[in-house]
Structure 1
Amino acid sequence: MTEAPVLSVVVPMFDEEEVLPLFVARLRPVVDGLGVPYEVLVVDDGSQDRTPVLLQRERVSWPQLRVVRLRANAGHQAAISAGLARARGSYVVTIDADLQDPPELIAEMLRLAQDDGLDVVYAARSDRSTDTRFKRVTAKGYYDTMRRLGAHQSHAHAGDYRLMSRATVEAVNALPEHHRVLRLVVPQLGFPGGMVTYRREERPAGSSKYPLSKMVRLAVDSITGASIAPLRLATWLGLAGFVVAMLLLVYALVGYAVGLNVPGWTSTFVVVTTVGGIQLLCVGILGEYVGRMYTTMLGRPTYHVAHDTGEAVDTGP
C-alpha cells in the first residue's frame, strides 16, 4: 500500500510551458528535502500549449508528481478547488507556477504549522516592488474594500499561497457555495493560523494568465460572496432616488401653483437619466446576487476532470 503523503502541493496551471521547467527545478529540491512523504498535484486547467506534454515527461522521473487535467478551462479558483478536493496530504499547500511566490518558503510554513499546531499558515507579500504600480494600487484597494465590507479576517497581501491542515481542507471542501474566493473563505473559517512573509519576485518566463477581466471577475465574486453590503447600497440608492423624486414633485407643484415656468427638456432629461441610472445600478447589483443563487440552485459542477494520474475519473462539486 502506498504511504499516505504528509504534504500535498496543489499547483494550478494554465498554459505555463515556458515557466514549467523552471518551476519544477526549484520546487522538487524543496519537497525532496523535507524528509516526509509528499505529492505534487498539478491541476492542468485546460491548457492549450505544451503544458500537458511537459507534465507527462516530468512524471517519468518524478513519481510523486500527480496530474489532474480538467476538460476545459474553469478558472484559477476552480482549479485550486479541484486540487483541494483530490489532495491526500495531512497538510496541503497551494501555490501558483509562475515563481512569483518562492517555493522555498514551503519548508518554513510546514515547520511552523507542525511546531505551533496551526491549521493555516498564510504567506503574505511584504515587498511588492516587482509588481506594477497599477497592480499594487488595485491590490491595496481590493483588500481595503474587503475589510470595509466585513471580511475583517482577510490578510492584506496574502493571496492563494498558503498551507492548510487536513481539517481546514475538509471544511473548505464541505462548503456548498460556487465561485468561492479562497483567500476570503479560508480566513473566515476562523481556524488557528500563522503567517510568514516574503518578497514577491518577478515572473522568470512566460506572461501572466490573469488579465484585467479576470481581476474584475475576482473582485465581483469577492464582494458578492463575502458581503451583502451592495444590496444595502442598492436599497439606500433607491431610497435616495425616491427622496429626490419627491422633492422634484413638490418643486413642480409649487412652481405650477405660483405660475413659474416649468423647466424644459433639459431638466426632464436630467431627472429621467438620474433616476434611471440609479434604478439600473440597483438592478445590476441585484442581478449579481440572483445570478449566484441561480447557479447554486442549478448545482452544476464548476469543473470537470478529464483524467487524474492518481485515481479514477469523476466530476468536481
Structure 2
Amino acid sequence: MSRDQENTLTIIVPCFNEEEVLPETLKELGAILKREINNQKVSSKSKILFVNDGSKDQTWQLISEYSAKYDYVTGIKFSRNYGHQNALLAGMSVAVKYSDMMITIDADLQDDVNAIPKMVEKYFDVYDVIYGVRSSRKTDSFFKRRTALAFYSLMGKLGVNLVPDSADYRLLSKRATESLLRFKERNLFLRGMVPLVGYRSTKVYYVRKERFAGKSKYPLSKMLHFALDGITSFSIAPIHLILYLGLLTVVISIVCMVYTIVEKCLGHVVSGWSSLMISIWLLGGVQLISISVIGEYIGKIFSEVKHRPRFTIETENYTQKMKEQN
C-alpha cells in the first residue's frame, strides 16, 4: 500500500424496496469487506453505507437492525424517493469526509462483488477512477443488448464520453469524488459525469449475474427516461437536428411550390386534397416534435434555476460511527 493514507473504504449501496435481497447483499459485501480488512488492504474503519431511497417495504428497518448489530454497517434514510442517481450522490457526499475510496454498487447482486478486491488493487496502482465493466451481455435479452449498443453508439456520435458496458459499479478516490461533487446540475447522469472528472482511470472486468431476488427497479419506461436524460443533459444535438429538419422541410416546400406553379401553367389542374392533407399532417408532426424537444431542454433549465436540494436526508448514522472511531 503506497497511498500514504489510512485507506478507508466505503461501499455505497442505493436501496429502493430491496427487503428480499438485502440480507444476501449484506452477507456477500460484508464477507468481502472483512476479508479486505483482515488482509490489511483497507482500514478497519471501512464501512458499508446503505442509502434508503424512500422504500415502502421493510428496507430501512433491516438497515437499522444491521447497523445496530454490525459496526461496519451504516445507513442513510431519505425523506422520500429521490431516485437512484441522487442516492449514489448522497452516499458519496456523506462518505467523502471520512473515506479515501468509495465504491458504488447496486443492491441486487447482479454486479459481481468479487471485483471489489481487484478495484482496490487498482487503487493502489494509483488510479483514481476504476470502472466495473461487464465482460459480456449474455444475461440480457436480445432487445436490451441491441438497444444498449445503439445507445452507446448514439452517445459516442453526440460527443459524450461513456465507458461501454459500465453502469454505476465503480471505485472513486477521495479527490475524484470531491471533483465529482462540484458538479452542481440537478439532472444527473453519473455515467457521463464521471469521465468528465478526469484523473487516471482503468477498468476491471466481471461477469454480470441474474438478479438475486425481487424485481428490477428499471423497467423499460425508466430506461427510456434515463437514456433521454443522458442525451439532453450532455448534448444539444437534438436542437441542431430540429434546425436541419426545418431546413429540409423548407427545401421540400420550395420544390412542391415550383412543381405546383409548373402544373398550373401547363393547365394540369387536379384536386389537391391528398397533397394538402399530407402537408398538414407532415408539418404538424414536425412542429410538435420540435416543440417537444425544445420543451425538454426548457424543462431542464426550469429545474436547474430553482436550485432546489437534490435530496433530503431524514436519518443518517454514518457520520456518528466514523466520529466515534476517530
Of 90, 100, 103, the residue aligned with 1:93 is: 103
Of 155, 159, 163, the residue aligned with 1:150 is: 159
1:159 correspondence with 2:167: yes
Structure 1 range deviating more: 45-54 or 56-65: 56-65
Contact 1:154 1:188 in 2 (8 A): no
Question: What amino acid does structure 2 have at the position aligned with 1:73?
Answer: N
Question: Structure 2: any 5+ residue segments left out of the alignment?
Answer: 38-42, 321-326
Of 10, 19, 23, the residue aligned with 1:8 is: 10
User: What does residue 315 of structure 1 align with?
Assistant: none
Instruction: State the identity as a percent.
Output: 37
User: What does residue 121 of structure 1 align with?
Assistant: 130
Contact 1:234 1:282 in 2 (8 A): yes
Give, in whole Å, the separation in 2 of the partners of 1:252 and 1:6.
Answer: 75
User: What does residue 120 of structure 2 align with?
Assistant: 110
Give, in whole Å, the separation in 2 of the partners of 1:98 and 1:237.
Answer: 43
TM-score norm. by structure 1 comes to 0.93
CA-atom RMSD in angstroms: 1.6
For residues 258-279 of structure 1, the C-alpha deviation after alignment (integer angstroms, 9 at most, x for no partner) is 3221442111011111112112
1:64: how far off? 2.0
Alignment map for 1:254-269 (pairs within 5 Å): 254-269=262-277
1:130 correspondence with 2:139: yes
Give, in whole Å, the separation in 1 of the partners of 2:58 and 2:68.
Answer: 16
1:183: how far off? 0.9
User: What does residue 241 of structure 1 align with?
Assistant: 249
Of 22, 25, 30, the residue aligned with 2:24 is: 22
1:166: how far off? 0.9
User: What does residue 79 of structure 2 align with?
Assistant: 71
Of 181, 186, 189, the residue aligned with 2:189 is: 181
Change (3 A) 1:4 1:179: farther
Question: What amino acid does structure 2 have at the position aligned with 1:136?
Answer: R
1:290: how far off? 1.1
1:28: how far off? 0.2
Structure 1 range deviating more: 4-13 or 104-113: 4-13
Of 81, 88, 91, the residue aligned with 1:80 is: 88
Give, in whole Å, the separation in 1 of the partners of 2:73 and 2:26.
Answer: 10
Alignment map for 1:266-285 (pairs within 5 Å): 266-285=274-293
TM-score norm. by structure 2 comes to 0.90
Question: What amino acid does structure 2 have at the position aligned with 1:104?
Answer: N
Question: Structure 1: any 5+ residue segments left out of the alignment?
Answer: 313-317
1:131: how far off? 2.0
User: What does residue 31 of structure 1 align with?
Assistant: 33
1:239: how far off? 0.9
Give, in whole Å, the separation in 1 of the partners of 2:107 and 2:305.
Answer: 33
Change (3 A) 1:147 1:140: same
